[in-house]
């Protein structure tokens, strides 16, 4: 029997065209994409499509979009061998991260892809991205199991783990990287899979579960020289948040001024979950290297290790949605749940 894939089209540059009036890029009807990529018909596959209505520029993606995506996948999970999500590049790493935590017992590929140039323009990167994403989502190992049973991003010849990826360029075709995690596959003449890095599907056949109760009371504070007490207080002590991701310097360092540490300690006393993620693209947080990091740890801040900010956000939304107890969230946040940190 032919393998079957579901192409979920959410929007993004891959399916946009220029508005003749204001010359901005706007999404167009999905049937246009299939017309533009007749190569898809050459695969011996059944490819069905699900189109979001309305189509969205991915800067409009929000947690409801993720919930909708998980529902589309859950409701059709048994009907398809794999899923491809066509998505704008701007927030693709956020969406792929969130879905990795929202889809439990995943045993089939969910491959996100998009493009830097619309699919209808001659030099588009969209065709190769889409065609290879299709091949990857349909590919099976010698035992007939899906080759990549996880949420990932395919872009510019590289398959990356979704919750390790980050957008690194607004212009280059090589727009995504996962600096703290080797690529899962690389497309050359053949698609070469890095099998030791690919997560295994659950041993027994467990039904897909979804975690669609998200608690979004999280904010992100990026430290910078000259940051003021008023700004730090606003982020860390706001009654609106349960958790704050602090984007720190280097290996997890922050100012040592008493005013800063006092606010951190007060937030900790209030029961806030404070998470330390480095601003560096590569490497991990280790709060025991420098005194300025150790002070944060002593004040109750927990390590995000080598997590991306995108992944820390999705992980917190899911954990907060699931547990009322902040201490439990802190504990689970520091554990590896689906390949998002190196332990
Ligand atoms: N603004 C677009 C989006 O993220 C950019 C892209 O698709 O590359 O939807």
CATH, residue 266: 3.40.50.40
- What span, in angstroms and rounded, lies between the C-alpha atoms of 247 and 220? 7
pLDDT for 292 beyond 90: no
- If asked whether residues 224 and 200 sit together in one domain, one would say no
Q: How many domains does the chain have?
A: 2
* Residue 41 shares a structural domain with residue 61: yes
Residue 343 lies in a domain: no
Domain assignment of residue 339, yes or no: no
Determine the average pLDDT of the residues in 30-55.
84
Instruction: Tell me, yes or no, whether 13 lies in a domain.
Output: yes
Identify the domain containing residue 272 by its residue range. 218-333
- 125 CA to centre of ligand 1 in angstroms: 13
More confident residue, 79 or 206: 79
In a domain, 320, yes or no: yes
Confidence of residue 202 (pLDDT cuts 50, 70, 90): confident
Kindly give the number of the ligand 1 atom that is closest to the alpha carbon of 114.
Answer: 7
Binding site membership of 251 for ligand 1 (Cβ less than 6 Å): no
Give me the DSSP letters along 115-133. Answer: -SS-TTSTT-SHHHHHHHH
How close is the Cα of 152 to the center of ligand 1, in Å? 17
The residue out of 170, 189, 210 marking a domain boundary is 210
Mean local confidence (pLDDT), 174-178: 97
**Eight-state DSSP code of residue 151:** E
- Flag whether 11 is in a domain: yes
Ligand 1 in reach of 12 Cβ (< 6 A): yes
Q: Per the domain annotation, does 325 fall within a domain?
A: yes
* pLDDT (mean) for 325-329: 95
202 in a domain, yes or no? yes
| Residue 58, ligand 1, Cβ within 6 A | yes
Query: Distance, CA 115 to ligand 1 centroid (Å)?
Result: 8
Last residue within a domain, chosen from 147, 181, 210: 210
Say yes or no: 223 and 169 in one domain: no
Active-site residue, selected from the candidate residues 10, 13, 65, 166:
13
Residue 46, domain CATH:
3.40.50.1170
C-alpha 82/C-alpha 110 separation (Å) is 6
Q: C-alpha distances in angstroms, 192 versus 32, 43, 157, 186, 267?
A: 31, 19, 10, 5, 47
Asked if residues 134 and 239 have their Cβ atoms less than 8 Å apart, the reply is no
Residues 192 and 240 in one domain: no
In a domain, 110, yes or no: yes
Q: Which of 27, 61, 114 to mutate to test the pocket of ligand 1 (most atoms within 8 A of CB)?
A: 114
Let me know whether 118 and 267 are in one domain: no
pLDDT for residue 336: 97
- Helix boundaries (H) for 61-215: 63-76, 92-102, 126-138
- For residues 58 and 34, membership in a common domain is answered with yes
- Contacts of residue 141, defined as CB under 8 A and 6 or more positions apart, other chains included, come to 147
Q: How far is CA 318 from the centre of its chain?
A: 13
192 and 105 housed in the same domain: yes
Question: Is 203 in the same domain as 279?
Answer: no
Helices (DSSP H) in the chain: which residue ranges?
31-36, 63-76, 92-102, 126-138, 229-237, 258-269, 291-298, 309-322, 326-333
Same domain? 181 vs 285: no
Burial (CB < 10 A; 0-12, 13-18, 19+), residue 285, is buried
Same domain, residue pair 203 and 263: no
Which residue lies with its CA nearest to atom 1 of ligand 1?
57
Residues 295 and 203 in one domain: no
Residue 25: the pLDDT is 78
Q: Tell which of 187, 210, 233 closes a domain.
A: 210
Q: Is 13 a catalytic residue?
A: yes
Instruction: Answer yes or no: is the C-beta of 13 below 6 A from any ligand 1 atom.
Output: yes
Question: Considering only 11-20, 266-275, 313-322, which range has the smallest mean pLDDT?
Answer: 11-20
The residue whose CB lies within 8 Å of the most ligand 1 atoms, and thus the one to mutate among 58, 113, 116, 129, is 58
Q: What pLDDT is attached to residue 227? A: 97
149 lines ligand 1 (CB under 6 A): no
Residues 164, 236 share a domain: no
pLDDT for res 293: 84
Exposed, middle or buried: residue 122 (CB in 10 Å: 0-12, 13-18, 19+)? exposed
| 255 close to ligand 1 (CB < 6 Angstrom) | no
Taking residues 237-249, report their average pLDDT. Answer: 96
| Angle at the Cα of 151 from the Cα atoms of 106 and 206, rounded to 5 degrees | 5
How close is the Cα of 41 to the center of ligand 1, in Å? 26
- 129-158 pLDDT per residue, tens: 999 999 999 999 999 999 999 999 999 999
């Amino acid at each position: 029997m032919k393998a079957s894939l579901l192409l979920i089209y959410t929007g993004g540059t891959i399916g946009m065209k220029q508005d003749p009036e204001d010359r901005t890029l706007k999404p167009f009807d999905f049937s246009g994409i299939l017309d533009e990529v007749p190569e898809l018909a050459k695969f011996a596959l059944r490819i069905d499509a699900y189109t979001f209505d309305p189509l969205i520029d991915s800067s409009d993606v929000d947690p409801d979009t993720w919930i909708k995506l998980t529902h589309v996948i859950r409701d059709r999970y048994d009907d398809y061998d794999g899923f491809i999500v066509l998505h704008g590049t701007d927030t693709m790493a956020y969406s792929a991260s969130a879905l990795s935590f929202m889809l439990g017992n995943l045993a089939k590929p969910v491959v996100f892809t998009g493009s830097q140039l619309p699919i209808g323009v001659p030099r588009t990167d969209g065709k190769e991205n889409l065609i290879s994403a299709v091949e990857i989502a349909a590919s099976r190992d010698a035992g007939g199991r899906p080759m990549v049973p996880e949420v990932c991003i395919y872009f510019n010849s590289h398959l990356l783990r979704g919750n390790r990826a980050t957008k690194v360029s607004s212009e280059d075709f090589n727009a995504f990287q996962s600096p703290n995690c080797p690529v899962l596959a690389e497309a050359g003449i053949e698609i070469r899979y890095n099998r030791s890095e690919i997560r295994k599907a659950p041993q027994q056949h467990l039904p897909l579960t979804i975690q669609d109760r998200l608690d979004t009371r999280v904010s992100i504070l990026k430290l910078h020289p000259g940051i003021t007490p008023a700004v730090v207080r606003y982020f860390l002590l706001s009654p609106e948040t349960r958790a704050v991701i602090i984007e720190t310097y280097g290996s997890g360092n922050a100012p040592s001024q008493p005013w800063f540490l006092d606010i951190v300690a007060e937030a900790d006393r209030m029961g806030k979950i404070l998470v330390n993620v480095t601003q560096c693209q590569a490497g991990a947080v280790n709060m025991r290297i420098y005194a300025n990091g150790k002070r944060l740890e002593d004040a109750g801040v927990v390590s995000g290790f080598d997590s991306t900010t995108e992944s820390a956000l999705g992980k917190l939304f899911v954990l907060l949605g699931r547990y009322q107890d902040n201490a439990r969230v802190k504990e689970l946040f520091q554990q590896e749940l689906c390949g998002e940190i190196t332990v």
